[in-house]
Amino acid sequence: MTGLADVAVERRGKAVVARLSGEIDMTNASYVGGELVRSVPNEASGLVVDLTETRYLDSAGIELLFELARRLRRRRQELRLVLPPSSPLRRVLLLTEMHSVAPLDDELDSALAHL
Amino acid sequence: MRARQGEAVAAFGQRALAGMGMEQLLAEAVRIVGEELRVDIVNVLRLEPDGDTLTMRAARGWRDEWLGQGIPSVSAGTLAGYVLRSQRPVVAEDLRREVRFRSSRVLERAGVVSAMAAPITGPERPYGVLGAHSLRPHHFSVDETHFLQAVANVIGAAVERDRVETLLRDSEARFRELADTTPALMWTTDPGGRVTFVNQGWLRFTGRTLEEEQGDTFAMSAHPDDRAELREAWRRAMASQEEFRVEYRLRSATGRYRWVLEVGVPRYVGGEFAGFVGTATDIHERRSMEDVLRESEARFRELADSAPVMIWTTDEHGRVTFVNRGWLEFTGTTLQDELGDTWALGVHPDDVPGLLTSWAAALVKAEPWEREYRLRRRDGEYRWVLDQGVPRFEAGSLIGYAGTATEIHERKTMEDRRLRVYEQEHRIAETLQRSMLPEKLPEIEGLELAARYLPAGTETAIGGDWYDAMELPDGRVALVVGDVVGHGLRAAAIMGQLRTASRAYAQVEPSPVEVVARLNRLITGGEDEGMATVLYLVLDRDNGKVTFTSAGHPPPLVLEPDGPRFLEGGRSVPVGAADPAVFRQGEDTIAPGSTLLLYTDGLIERRDVPLERRLAQLAEAAGAAGGELSELCGQLVSAVLGRSEPGDDVALLAVRARPIRSPVLELTLPAEPEALSTLRRRLGRFFHALGAADHEVYELTLTVCEAAGNAIEHAYGPEDASFDVRVTVAAGEVRAEVRDRGRWRDPRGEARGRGLRIIEGLMDEVDLAIEPGGTVVRMRRRLSVSAAA
């Protein structure tokens, strides 16, 4: 808990789902990044970060997702992001080519189906 | 721990609790550790809110040339990070041979050989690390480890206390602001019972200054005869931390004492008892009338005992045949005067016809007779008497009447007075209620507020309706409307209590359902039984999100550009109906440019029409009303109630996001990462108010914040600094400017590169200029058609 954002982690079969709610900026990005890294055990097939409840994500937040993808790739684990089609974050994520390292799904179920 | 070190910690703990400033406390801590452990370097590192960065807060033996080298962050995997993770003291007797964590360059450069560090706990997350380092190989004993941890614990306790105090100060400041807009008399105390604040209303009443009122001043201005009782009530309330109420005489500015009713409620900040908040209400007129009544009643009894009995008799025709001495003494007449057809003798002219008619009617039927009328006393004054006669028979036929008359003047006039007291009570309740409504609605940035309060028609006693609006610590706005079941002074008093309490709870409790549950506990736990319907709604100005609980209250109405609709959900039982009770919370989002209407059921009360229909009528009337907000309230009230006076009190509160008059936003903020959330909220509100689409609001807010982020990260050294943001809108185009007074260092790392890419990708045009005064980022973007219109 950092006040601005909250990370809720849940196991779904072999995958880990982390729901990111609230606002992520340079004041809490590294904290949130740490929480996400710690949430993935070695035996997990991958991590789904659900951004449905994320109200704000600046470049520090985007950087933490890139860093997370890098780390997971090294451990041969996949990172997928869930983002509803109407989310205002969408354009920014596409602009920074986030989808090149973490595929975007509209819904959690389709993200889990890919893992 | 060795005895000497134990003593040092105890003394330190005592001084810390006695209220030392944070800086002084940390300086003391490093001094004690240095002296007791005879180590070369002692430092306190604070963990920043990002959970990674460490800042040096206090140090001993730390040489200047080591400063500015940067403290490795937690993620660098050094001693401090290891201690924070393990949450217990860690000893490294030889840093060079350490395998559990990496050695830090700072400690290496300083030449530290043996190191020891202990975690400092904090209220929500660790506060930081207390370190003790030696430049020569040093063995740290178990005692010494315990000693270091004990000092760290004292620091932790002080941090916690410091936080509660800050929380208290913040909520205190906010409370004072609210309290001063209330004409009622209000005060607060600290947990020790010392008065910390009285509002303007109190100062006006007592004619003293805030400084004079603060401190151990409780009962200072009470009438000497009432002081003991007041102090006792206060002592009990402090001991139990429970609500109290007491009536006493308070010295006013003119030196006269006036009766007040004082109600005090405990306050809690962050779950801790923070003292009392109270209100005093002037009840002087009611108290004085009660005193008069008591006196006159006593006088009546005295009179009745000593009054001579007045006796009379008549013959079968109703002619007076005898009056006793008592009668003659009262009237000052002679027996001769009274004998015969003398029924109208000495009777007040206005009472003669009624008396004669009733007497004749009784006489005809030979029935008992009774009448109250005014009879002239010997001194010429007419006095009320009660005259009662019974028929006397002999062998079945009427032979006359025998009667007694009693003076009832005192009682009779007392009843008149009693009636007057009731009227007065009504007026007092009305005044009390008025005084509880905000004198003026608060100024809330970005919101327009209007309210109407209509008391019920004169036949009905006054009700307990109220409304309120206030800003919450998290930047959202709470809107409250309530209606206490019942009428009269009691309802008005409960209303005052609920209103004061909801103001206090709002400051510490962000969730509507919790505030309402607390109000329920307050009202069910009190001595006075009472019940109220309450609508408590929290509005987020940034995104139109509303969260609300409706405790038996009619649903709020929202007038959106598409038309009116009711906010359903959050329906619960009235406050005071059950304990424990389950309250629910509803959520909704209202469209930009909407008007929210909160009201009490007086506005929709018509017994002959079903509720559904009445709500539909209200929605229809509201949909048709328009214009400026206070005009809308007026139109709505007259459309719904017509010309008639309402059968019940009506409270109506209308809220609307304020249209931006000058399309400019100018801000200067400190160049700190924490300023970004403030900037986001201000920008969000500004762009929303323009009518920009959600994704536009988001993208514009993000780009301005990215530019601000660059200024914060790159323009300055660690010293205090600020940056300016200026946003203008003209001809469908947004122009934003972020200006700092430093010189950007090269954007480092990929993250900042992405920041710039975001700015460039989301804006139509971006220009970065290095000017003599600093760096300016200028950005432009055309708004979509709907927003530009």
- Lookup: tokens for B576: 């005071």
Query: What's the gap in Å between the CA of A111 and the closest CA on chain B?
Result: 24
> Which positions in chain A touch B75 (Cβ < 8 Å)?
30, 34
Query: Cα–Cα–Cα angle for A13, A17, A21, nearest 5°?
Result: 160
Chain B residues contacting A, CB < 8 Å?
Answer: 49-52, 75, 124, 543, 673-674, 676-677, 680, 694-695, 697-699, 701-702, 705-706, 709, 712-713, 750-752, 754-755, 757-758, 761-762
Residue bearing tokens 């002219």: B349
> Among A1, A88, A96, whose Cβ lies nearest the Cβ of B698?
A88
**Domain shared by B271 and B388, yes or no:** no
Q: Which residue of chain A comes nearest to B675, CA vs CA?
A: A27
Say whether pLDDT at B360 is over 80: yes
Q: What is the CATH number of the domain that holds B336?
A: 3.30.450.20
Q: Which residue of chain B comes nearest to A87, CA vs CA?
A: B695
Q: Rounded to an integer, what distance in angstroms lies between the CA atom of residue A14 and that of residue A48?
A: 11
**Shortest CA distance to B44 belongs to which of B108, B102, B117?**
B117
> Which positions in chain B touch A59 (Cβ < 8 Å)?
706, 709, 751-752, 754-755, 758
Q: Which amino acid is present at B387?
A: D
Question: pLDDT tier at B304 (50, 70, 90 boundaries)?
Answer: very low
- Is pLDDT larger for residue B487 or for residue B191? B191
Are B587 and B547 in contact, with CB atoms under 8 Å apart?
Answer: yes
3-state DSSP assignment of residue A93:
helix
> Which positions in chain B touch A31 (Cβ < 8 Å)?
49-52
> Among B677, B695, B752, whose Cβ lies nearest the Cβ of A91?
B695
> Which positions in chain B touch A53 (Cβ < 8 Å)?
none
The reply to whether residue A88 touches residue B762, judged by beta carbons under 8 angstroms, is no
pTM of the model: 0.41
CA distances in angstroms from B539 to B476, B591, B636, B666, listed in the order given: 6, 12, 23, 24
Mean pLDDT over B460-472 rounds to: 76
Residue B327 lies in a domain: yes
Q: Which amino acid is present at B175?
A: F
Q: Which residue of chain A comes nearest to B672, CA vs CA?
A: A27
Query: What's the gap in Å between the CA of A55 and the closest CA on chain B?
Result: 9
- Is pLDDT larger for residue B462 or for residue B523? B523
The reply to whether residue B676 touches residue A1, judged by beta carbons under 8 angstroms, is no
**Domain shared by B241 and B106, yes or no:** no
**Shortest CA distance to B594 belongs to which of B569, B564, B617, B567?**
B564
Question: pLDDT tier at B371 (50, 70, 90 boundaries)?
Answer: very high
> Among A23, A31, A63, whose Cβ lies nearest the Cβ of B754?
A63
Confidence at residue B645, expressed as pLDDT on a 0 to 100 scale: 64
β-sheet with B114-120: strand ranges across:
B54-60, B41-47, B128-134, B114-120, B90-92
Query: What's the gap in Å between the CA of B600 and the closest CA on chain A?
Result: 35
Domain end (from B212, B247, B282): B282
Query: What's the gap in Å between the CA of A28 and the closest CA on chain B?
Result: 5
**Domain shared by B729 and B590, yes or no:** no
Confidence at residue A67, expressed as pLDDT on a 0 to 100 scale: 92
**Domain shared by B304 and B241, yes or no:** no
To the nearest whole percent, how much of chain B has pLDDT over 90?
20
Interface-testing mutation among B758, B762, B766, B781, with chain A (most A C-beta atoms within 10 A): B758
Residue B228 lies in a domain: yes
The reply to whether residue A29 touches residue B752, judged by beta carbons under 8 angstroms, is no
Question: pLDDT tier at B444 (50, 70, 90 boundaries)?
Answer: confident
Confidence at residue B402, expressed as pLDDT on a 0 to 100 scale: 85
Task: List the beta strands (DSSP E) in B222-380.
Answer: 244-251, 257-269, 272-282, 310-314, 320-323, 369-376
**Shortest CA distance to B568 belongs to which of B590, B586, B591?**
B586
The reply to whether residue A30 touches residue B52, judged by beta carbons under 8 angstroms, is yes
The reply to whether residue A95 touches residue B757, judged by beta carbons under 8 angstroms, is yes
> Which positions in chain A touch B694 (Cβ < 8 Å)?
88
Interface-testing mutation among A26, A28, A54, with chain B (most B C-beta atoms within 10 A): A26
Confidence at residue B717, expressed as pLDDT on a 0 to 100 scale: 59
Confidence at residue B788, expressed as pLDDT on a 0 to 100 scale: 47
Confidence at residue B241, expressed as pLDDT on a 0 to 100 scale: 84
The reply to whether residue A26 touches residue B713, judged by beta carbons under 8 angstroms, is yes
The reply to whether residue B677 touches residue A26, judged by beta carbons under 8 angstroms, is no
**Domain shared by B50 and B34, yes or no:** yes
> Which positions in chain A touch B757 (Cβ < 8 Å)?
95-96
- Is pLDDT larger for residue B266 or for residue B418? B266
> Among B543, B699, B709, whose Cβ lies nearest the Cβ of A91?
B699
**Domain shared by B81 and B207, yes or no:** no
Are B637 and B591 in contact, with CB atoms under 8 Å apart?
Answer: no
Question: pLDDT tier at B271 (50, 70, 90 boundaries)?
Answer: low
Mean pLDDT over B314-330 rounds to: 88
For residue B102, what is the DSSP state?
Answer: B
Q: Which residues are CB-contacts of B741 (< 8 A; sequence separation ≥ 6)?
A: B715, B721, B722, B723, B773, B774
- Which of B152-166, B691-705, B772-786 has maximum average pLDDT? B691-705
The reply to whether residue B698 touches residue A66, judged by beta carbons under 8 angstroms, is no
Q: Which residue of chain A comes nearest to B53, CA vs CA?
A: A30
Query: What's the gap in Å between the CA of A29 and the closest CA on chain B?
Result: 7
Mean pLDDT over B507-523 rounds to: 86
3-state DSSP assignment of residue A90:
helix
Q: Which residue of chain B comes nearest to A57, CA vs CA?
A: B702
**Domain shared by B340 and B450, yes or no:** no
- Which of B284-298, B445-459, B510-524, B608-622 has maximum average pLDDT? B510-524
Q: What is the CATH number of the domain that holds B519?
A: 3.60.40.10
**Shortest CA distance to B236 belongs to which of B250, B218, B251, B220?**
B218
Q: Which domain holds residue B489?
A: 437-657
**Domain shared by B74 and B211, yes or no:** no
Question: pLDDT tier at B300 (50, 70, 90 boundaries)?
Answer: very low
Residue B491 lies in a domain: yes
Query: What's the gap in Å between the CA of A16 and the closest CA on chain B?
Result: 23
Say whether pLDDT at B542 is over 50: yes
The reply to whether residue B758 touches residue A92, judged by beta carbons under 8 angstroms, is yes
Are A113 and A82 in contact, with CB atoms under 8 Å apart?
Answer: no
Q: Tell the CATH topology of A5-114.
A: Transcription Regulator spoIIAA (3.30.750)
> Among A55, A59, A89, whose Cβ lies nearest the Cβ of B754?
A59
Are B408 and B386 in contact, with CB atoms under 8 Å apart?
Answer: yes
Q: What is the mean pLDDT of chain B?
A: 81
Say whether pLDDT at B211 is over 60: yes
Query: What's the gap in Å between the CA of A27 and the closest CA on chain B?
Result: 5
* CA B471 to the chain's CA centroid: 10
Q: Which residue of chain B comes nearest to A92, CA vs CA?
A: B758
Mean pLDDT over B124-130 rounds to: 86
**Domain shared by B230 and B354, yes or no:** no
Residue B22 lies in a domain: yes
Q: What is the mean pLDDT of chain A?
A: 91
> Among B698, B709, B750, whose Cβ lies nearest the Cβ of A26?
B709
How many CB pairs lie under 8 A apart between chains A and B? 88
The reply to whether residue A96 touches residue B699, judged by beta carbons under 8 angstroms, is no
**Domain shared by B640 and B614, yes or no:** yes
CA distances in angstroms from B168 to B173, B269, B312, listed in the order given: 8, 6, 78
Q: Rounded to an integer, what distance in angstroms lies between the CA atom of residue B494 and that of residue B433?
A: 10
Q: Rounded to an integer, what distance in angstroms lies between the CA atom of residue B50 and that of residue B159?
A: 18
The region of weakest confidence among B105-114, B210-219, B378-387, B459-468 is B459-468
3-state DSSP assignment of residue B415:
helix
Q: Residue B482 — left, alpha, or beta (φ > 0 → left; ψ -120 to 50 → alpha)?
A: beta
A2-36 per-position pLDDT tens digit = 467 888 999 998 999 999 988 999 888 988 998 89
For residue A21, what is the DSSP state?
Answer: E
Mean pLDDT over B312-324 rounds to: 89
To the nearest whole percent, how much of chain B has pLDDT over 70?
82
Are B133 and B39 in contact, with CB atoms under 8 Å apart?
Answer: yes
Query: What's the gap in Å between the CA of B547 and the closest CA on chain A?
Result: 16
The reply to whether residue B761 touches residue A58, judged by beta carbons under 8 angstroms, is no
- Which of B194-198, B369-373, B395-399 has maximum average pLDDT? B369-373
The reply to whether residue B751 touches residue A59, judged by beta carbons under 8 angstroms, is yes
Q: Which residue of chain A comes nearest to B680, CA vs CA?
A: A56
Say whether pLDDT at B789 is over 50: no
The reply to whether residue A59 touches residue B75, judged by beta carbons under 8 angstroms, is no
Q: Which residue of chain A comes nearest to B693, CA vs CA?
A: A88
> Among A23, A59, A62, whose Cβ lies nearest the Cβ of B677?
A23
Q: Maximum Cα–Cα distance for chain B, whole Å?
A: 134
- DSSP-derived pairing of the beta strands A15-24 and A54-57: parallel
Confidence at residue B424, expressed as pLDDT on a 0 to 100 scale: 58
Say whether pLDDT at A57 is over 90: yes
**Domain shared by B651 and B675, yes or no:** no
B745-782 per-position pLDDT tens digit = 555 555 557 788 899 999 999 998 888 778 899 999 99
Total domains in chain B come to 5
Q: What is the CATH number of the domain that holds B759?
A: 3.30.565.10
> Among A4, A27, A62, whose Cβ lies nearest the Cβ of B754?
A62
For residue A92, what is the DSSP state?
Answer: H
Query: What's the gap in Å between the CA of B12 and the closest CA on chain A?
Result: 31
**Domain shared by B653 and B668, yes or no:** no
B134-160 per-position pLDDT tens digit = 999 888 888 888 889 888 888 887 777
> Which positions in chain A touch B754 (Cβ < 8 Å)?
59, 62-63, 96
Q: Which residue of chain A comes nearest to B709, CA vs CA?
A: A26
- ipTM of this predicted structure: 0.94
Q: Rounded to an integer, what distance in angstroms lies between the CA atom of residue B119 and that of residue B81?
A: 10
> Among A58, A60, A95, whose Cβ lies nearest the Cβ of B761?
A95
> Which positions in chain B touch A24 (Cβ < 8 Å)?
none
Q: How many CA atoms lie within 13 A of B97 on its CB side?
A: 6
Mean pLDDT over B47-54 rounds to: 84
